[in-house]
């Protein structure tokens, strides 16, 4: 699961249960430090984005504890790179991409959500906040 924004706990659990069925899910949450302006991204000024991503990862992990085995991490600011990095250590069966929508979404979120659908050869579900 790739999450750049927290989502309603009940909606998140429902989505995971829908995909996992009756089995206990094994979930790896990656929160990319993607809440960066282009200028901050170019300057590698990621401190605030990493702090935000840490909070998102922690909230998602807590929300999903009852659905299975969950761990989380903060990933690369580029969500596509964060997905690639995570797939090297956690061979996922599918991706759930959680992003903000419309004017709230960052330029990295918009580009990455689209790329994830095309790039990884896995089923991808997008949840927007």
Q: State the DSSP string of 13-51.
A: HHHHHHHHTTSPEEEEEEEE-----HHHHHTT--HHHHH
Closest C-alpha to 77, from 101, 109, 100, 102: 109
Q: Which two tokens stand for residue 60?
A: 């998602």
45 or 32, greater pLDDT: 32
CA max distance for the chain = 46
Of the candidates 102, 106, 108, 101, the one whose C-alpha atom is nearest the C-alpha of residue 126 is 101
Cα atoms in the Cβ-side hemisphere of radius 13 Å centred on 14: 6
CB-neighbour burial class of residue 101 (10 A; exposed 0-12, middle 13-18, buried 19+): middle
Q: Whole-model pTM?
A: 0.80
pLDDT digits (tens, 9 = 90+) for 57-113: 999 999 998 888 899 999 988 888 899 999 999 999 888 888 776 665 655 555 565
Determine what percent of the chain is predicted with pLDDT higher than 90.
Answer: 22
For the chain, which domains are there?
A: 2-17+26-128 (3.40.50.620)
The CA R_g of the chain, rounded to the nearest whole Å, is 14
């Amino acid at each position: 699961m790739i999450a750049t924004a927290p989502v309603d706990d009940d909606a998140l659990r429902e989505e995971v249960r829908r995909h996992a069925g009756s089995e206990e899910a094994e979930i790896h949450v990656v929160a990319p430090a993607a809440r960066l302006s282009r200028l901050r991204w170019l300057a590698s000024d990621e401190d605030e984005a990493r702090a935000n991503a840490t909070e998102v990862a922690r909230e998602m992990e807590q929300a999903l504890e009852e659905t299975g085995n969950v761990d989380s991490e903060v990933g690369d600011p580029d969500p596509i790179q964060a997905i690639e990095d995570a797939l090297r250590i956690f061979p996922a069966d599918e991706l759930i991409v959680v992003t903000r929508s419309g004017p709230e979404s960052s330029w990295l979120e918009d580009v990455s959500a689209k790329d994830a659908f095309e790039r990884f050869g896995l089923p991808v579900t997008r949840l927007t906040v």
